[in-house]
A and B are shown apart, each in its own frame.
Chain A
């Protein structure tokens, strides 16, 4: 995983559910590129176009609803760099950590970040620099256990290592 990320903020509201991130009618797809093609199809078209290469900034409970890992696979394959949210729904958060999609919990994110603000994120420290406004935000520490998964590049390399397979 890259240690620093930069992109423009794409602002979303609270309770963005996984049906909006990845509609249920595409759940039979398994090719990651095909999954990525339907990313954010349940939200505003302008947001969907803006997301690739940028950073989603959302209110509370991002990723609520269905357990579908497709939501994270879609964001990764659509080129979303990271998600900064005031809080995450549990299963989405686990899925993101497992697949190494950078997720940062930042309780005041939507109040301190405006649409199109240029953000730089340091994944090691969890600091989010708002280059447009000249401010810096902190995100909540992930904790030792989760950090270990993140630093391994996700759960897959970690399990492979545990099984004695090459990493």
Chain B
């Protein structure tokens, strides 16, 4: 069996599961974000009284942190009341950050578990050797009542990543390149495992980027076998004992794709689909109105560090806005300690409080008709960050930093490794 199958089998109380089978799995942790007040409504509509386990459920207020509208404030208020009524052990209010960053930081995500959240990017937690997947509000409500979810055991695609990308090329470029080749529907309903020499040595942050954006190929879940860096990270944080699952030798993958990364160049997803990927050089010179670094894809310490490296002692271009939103309070604290935030403010950045920010067009930097934004986030769908007549380009945080400096899409390699 595959490690993901072993996780599902364990949760379903079965010795063996195989692709295509429907199982009822016990859920180790369930998270509801602040877009999904419907979860509580569905919970009561179905006859729910209290959540099945107060230690295994949490709200994370990240999409509206802090609230931009009266409606979102009402949603938060009703969710807080529900959390209090149920005496939930964990509650992550507006000061905490994006759910996919906050949950691992607080130790509720660890290897071998199943984590379900009302957020499509729950695939992120494959970076920790967990099975993470997203559901809608009513599925979540049924978990809150029963502690279980019916799941189809997915076929698994292996994406083998070999070699070392050159300087200035990041995990974001790697995953954009993969999505550009496998396409937005390349892994619908499948599990995606990343393996290979590139992945073996990869740190937690980069692993999260790969697993996070596997969803943009339609993946149900993603997985990377934990390495020592991951084990060190979770061992210092996990709130429960855990067991790492491993894939049996000879496991049969549904598909295998190999990517050689030694010559990869910075990548860019052009408007308005995540799989419209080309080498960044094709977009060089496209005038931008805004750059954005943040989110569950591109708002970690490493992302803000590279932006600070590029922008330290420089000023962003006239008439360009640059929004930086650390993915969590923890990320923000480290970035303040290391002086990155100061460097970015001095360069002309606008810093907002940890959360999802403008990624889904809710607040803190939405776009007007005709505007162009280069973003370190994960989606460039029409209207994603505001007007349906705005345009979004997806790139690495380094490319975003280089672009706000120039006022147009730029290659980060021009600004890294020594100054001209």
**B342 at the binding interface (Cβ < 8 Å):** no
Cβ contact of A19, chosen from B69, B72, B119, B379, cutoff 8 A: B379
Once the chains bind, are A42 and B383 in contact (CB under 8 Å)? yes
CA distance A20 to B273 in the complex (A): 12
Instruction: List B residues 365-385 near A (Cβ within 8 Å).
Output: 366, 379, 381-384
Assembled-state Cα–Cα distance A127/B384 (Å): 35
Instruction: Give the CA-CA distance A17 to B118 in the complex, in Å.
Output: 16
Number of interface residues of B (CB under 8 A): 50
In the assembled complex, the Cα of A27 lies from the Cα of B150 at a distance in Å of 26
Residues of B within 8 A of A95 (CB): 136, 138-139
Is B256 located at the chain interface by the 8 A CB criterion?
no
Are the CB atoms of B361 and A25 closer together than 8 Å? yes
Contact B64 A28 (CB under 8 A): yes
Given A29-B71, A98-B138, A145-B22, A91:B361 Cβ within 8 A: no
Bound-complex Cα distance A104 to B69 (A):
37
Contact, CB under 8 Å: A30 / B383:
no
Contact A65 B46 (CB under 8 A): no
Evaluate contact between A155 and B47: CB separation under 8 angstroms.
Answer: no
Provided the pairs A68-B35, A91-B120, A159-B145 are in contact, do residues A20 and B383 lie with their beta carbons within 8 angstroms? yes
With contacts A28-B75, A90-B218, A155-B142 taken as known, whether A72 is within 8 angstroms of B273 at the C-beta atoms is no
Residues on the B chain within 8 Å of A72, using CB: 136
Task: Note all chain A residues with C-beta closer than 8 A to B379.
Answer: 17, 19, 65
* Contact mask for chain B residues 49-87; partner A; CB cutoff 8 A; 1 contact, 0 none: 000000000000001100001011011000000000000
Interface code A74-95, partner B: CB below 8 Å = 1, 0 otherwise? 0000000000000111110011
A75 to chain B, nearest CB (A): 13
In the bound complex, residues from chain A placing their C-beta under 8 Å from that of B146 are: 159, 162
Asked if B95 lies at the interface with its beta carbon under 8 angstroms from chain A, I say no
Check B41–A28 contact: CB distance below 8 A. no
Interface residues of A in 29-62 (CB under 8 A from B): 29-30, 42, 60-61
* Contact partner, B145, options A90, A99, A163, Cβ 8 Å: A163
With CB as the reference atom, state the residue of chain A lying closest to B47: A165
How far is A73 from B38 in the complex, measured between Cα atoms in Å? 10
Known: A28-B75, A30-B75. A19 touches B381 (CB 8 A): yes
Closest beta carbon of chain B to A98's beta carbon, Å: 5
B388 proximal to A (CB < 8 A): yes
Q: Which residues of A contact B388 (CB under 8 A)?
A: 23, 42
- Report which of A23, A88, A99, A145 forms a contact with B383, defined as CB distance below 8 A: A23
B137 neighbours in A (Cβ, 8 Å): 69
Interface flag for A6 (CB, 8 Å): no
CB distance from B375 to the nearest CB of A (A): 14
Q: Is the CB of A24 within 8 A of B384?
A: yes
Q: Does A124 contact B (CB under 8 A)?
A: no
> Taking the nearest CB of chain B, how far is it from the CB of A30, in angstroms?
5
Q: How far is the CA of A95 from the CA of B139 in the complex (A)?
A: 7
Near B by CB (< 8 A), chain A positions 98-123 give 98-99
Q: Is A15 an interface residue, CB under 8 A from the partner?
A: yes
Cβ of B218 and Cβ of A61 under 8 Å apart?
Answer: yes
- Across the interface, B46 reaches (CB within 8 A) one of A14, A61, A88, A156, namely A156
* Complex alpha-carbon distance, A52 and B384, angstroms: 24
Report the Cα distance A53→B138, complex, angstroms: 24
Q: A20-B383, A87-B185 are in contact. Are A163 and B118 (CB under 8 A)?
A: no
Closest to B356 in A: A24
The answer, yes or no, to whether B36 is at the interface (CB within 8 Å) is yes
Whether, in the assembled complex, A66 has its beta carbon less than 8 Å from a beta carbon of chain B, the answer is: yes
How far does the Cβ of A145 sit from chain B's closest Cβ, in whole Å? 5
Q: Is the CB of A27 within 8 A of B136?
A: no
Partner of A66, one of B48, B139, B142, B360: B360
Q: Is B134 an interface residue (CB 8 A)?
A: yes
Asked whether B46 lies within 8 Å of A159 as measured between CB atoms, the reply is yes
A18 shortest CB reach to chain B, Å: 9
Other-chain residue from A61, A89, A143, A159 in contact with B142 (beta carbon distance below 8 A) = A159
9 A-B residue contacts at CB 8 Å?
Answer: A19-B381, A28-B35, A28-B72, A28-B74, A42-B382, A61-B188, A67-B135, A91-B134, A145-B150
Which 5 pairs, one residue from A and one from B, show the smallest C-beta to C-beta distance? Answer: A69-B136, A24-B360, A28-B71, A61-B185, A95-B136
Interface residues of A (CB under 8 A from B): 14-15, 17, 19-20, 23-25, 27-30, 42, 60-61, 64-70, 72-73, 87-91, 94-95, 98-99, 143, 145, 154-156, 159-160, 162-163, 165
